[in-house]
Amino acid sequence: MAIQWRPFVDLVRNHRKFLITTHIRPDPDGLGSQLGLADVLENMGKETRLVISSNWPPRYDFMDPQRRIKRFELPGDGYRDVEAIMVLDTGTWGQLGDFGSFLRTMNVPKVVIDHHLSQDDLGALQLIDTSSEATGRLVVEAIEAMDQPISQRAADWLFLAVATDTGWFRHKNTTPATFALAEKLVRAGARPTLLYDQVYEQHTLPRLKLLGLVLQRLRQVENGRIAYTEVRLSDYAATGAIPQDTEDMVNYTRSLAGVEVGLFFLEQPAGGVKVSFRSHDKVDVAKIAEGFGGGGHRLASGAVVHASIEDAEARVLDAVRKVL
């Protein structure tokens, strides 16, 4: 589904000060898209400010050593002078955290650039392509629509966005066009070997201790068709890990032979349980997640269940069983 970028190009041409955000618990697709787009806009003489509504994930310190991306805090009065707002890699209120409350009060042009199925009405120009493997691709398209070059810095960020959202080109959303895009970004200066090392080979000891607990708790039900595990709040103190260390651990549930749906239950400090859903192919987990107020992709989705971890596990497992 090709996006018509002319309204976006016109918006950029007619405004100077932009506020750019992504979803809570940000990943390299969201962060890389923010940084890459901001770099291009600034090279055009625009002013950008970057925020997220959650703690910065230390795992990605190498992406933003000067910490240009700030933690957003309400009421956000320091950002009210912006002329337009861009939301990347999400289009739902639930994924914006406190920034969502701020966004509702801003009477400025808004843009959503995203590749997820689940979308709310944010009062924005929606530039959505659910066939895209990553929002990073859409940012590259936006840059090309503006007829702007991609710097070496932006190439690194956008390559990382695409590579991580495709499981480093292993997931089913990887296509010949994905490799063509990767080639384009490498030609612009992206460094795949360095980026892979930074993301996947720089673990902390607390993260690995937490992973040990996650693997120890891994269980299979329904004749091995469902696998699930959990992280409780007390595990952080026990291992020295932090919530951001749980990223990607859901993939171990899907890695077991015979599993059709993998589930990862993460107890939240503010209450409730974040649930990550993964599927190989047969089950559309986005539809299951939507039943709990969440959403995402057909093979990778998430939701927050407002219950104890025991109740959340029972409710979600029952929903998955019904689908199977």
Tell me, what CATH number does 310's domain have? 3.10.310.30
| Sequence-ordered list of residues with C-beta below 8 angstroms from that of 242, at least 6 positions apart, any chain | 58, 206, 236
What confidence score (pLDDT) does residue 234 get?
A: 97
Tell me, what CATH number does 155's domain have? 3.90.1640.10
The H or E element that residue 136 is part of is helix 135-145
188 shares its domain with 214:
no
Contact (CB, 8 A) for 96 and 21? yes
- pLDDT: which is higher, 270 or 135: 135
Q: What is the pLDDT of residues 86-102, one digit of tens each?
A: 999 999 998 999 999 99
301 shares its domain with 264:
yes
Q: Is 14 domain-assigned? A: yes
- Listed range (2-11, 121-130, 191-200, 287-296) with the worst mean pLDDT: 287-296
Name the residue type at position 62.
Answer: F
Contact (CB, 8 A) for 230 and 314? no
Contact (CB, 8 A) for 259 and 320? no
Give the span between the Cα atoms of 92 and 26, in whole angstroms: 14
Strands 300-305 and 295-296: antiparallel
174 shares its domain with 210:
no
Mean pLDDT over residues 224-251, rounded? 95
Report helix, strand or coil for 20. Answer: strand
What confidence score (pLDDT) does residue 295 get?
A: 84
- Listed range (4-8, 13-17, 56-60) with the worst mean pLDDT: 56-60
What confidence score (pLDDT) does residue 311 get?
A: 96
Q: Is 141 domain-assigned? A: yes
Give the span between the Cα atoms of 249 and 272, in whole angstroms: 19
Q: What is the pLDDT of residues 253-302, one digit of tens each?
A: 999 999 999 999 999 988 999 999 999 888 999 999 999 988 888 888 99
185 shares its domain with 272:
no
| Residue-by-residue DSSP string for 73-110 | -TT-GGGTT-SEEEEES---GGGSTHHHHHHHH--S-E
Give the span between the Cα atoms of 256 and 302, in whole angstroms: 20
pLDDT band at residue 20 using 50, 70 and 90 as cut-offs? very high
126 shares its domain with 263:
no
187 shares its domain with 214:
no
30 shares its domain with 158:
yes
What confidence score (pLDDT) does residue 1 get?
A: 64
Domain's final residue, options 135, 170, 200: 200
pLDDT over threshold 90, residue 118:
no
143 shares its domain with 283:
no
pLDDT over threshold 80, residue 116:
yes
191 shares its domain with 311:
no
Average pLDDT, the chain: 95
What confidence score (pLDDT) does residue 49 get?
A: 98
Q: Is 288 domain-assigned? A: yes
Q: To the nearest 10°, the Cα dihedral for 270, 272, 277, 283? A: -150
Domain's final residue, options 171, 200, 229: 200
Q: Is 1 domain-assigned? A: no
Phi, psi of 91 (to 5 degrees): -140, 25
pLDDT over threshold 70, residue 250:
yes
Q: Is 21 domain-assigned? A: yes
195 shares its domain with 46:
yes
Per the structure, the complete domain to which residue 238 belongs is given by 205-323
Residue 112 CB neighbour total at 10 angstroms: 23
pLDDT band at residue 183 using 50, 70 and 90 as cut-offs? very high
Structural domains counted in the chain: 2
158 shares its domain with 241:
no
Q: What is the pLDDT of residues 143-158, one digit of tens each?
A: 999 999 999 999 999 9
Instruction: List b or e across 252-289, with b for residues whose CB sees 16 or more CB atoms inside 10 angstroms.
Output: bbbeeeebbbbbbbbbeeeebbbbbbbbeeebbbbebb
- Listed range (25-29, 66-70, 110-114, 243-247) with the worst mean pLDDT: 243-247
184 shares its domain with 79:
yes
Domain's final residue, options 200, 220, 249: 200
Report helix, strand or coil for 5. Answer: coil
What confidence score (pLDDT) does residue 302 get?
A: 92
Report helix, strand or coil for 305. Answer: strand
Name the residue type at position 173.
Answer: N
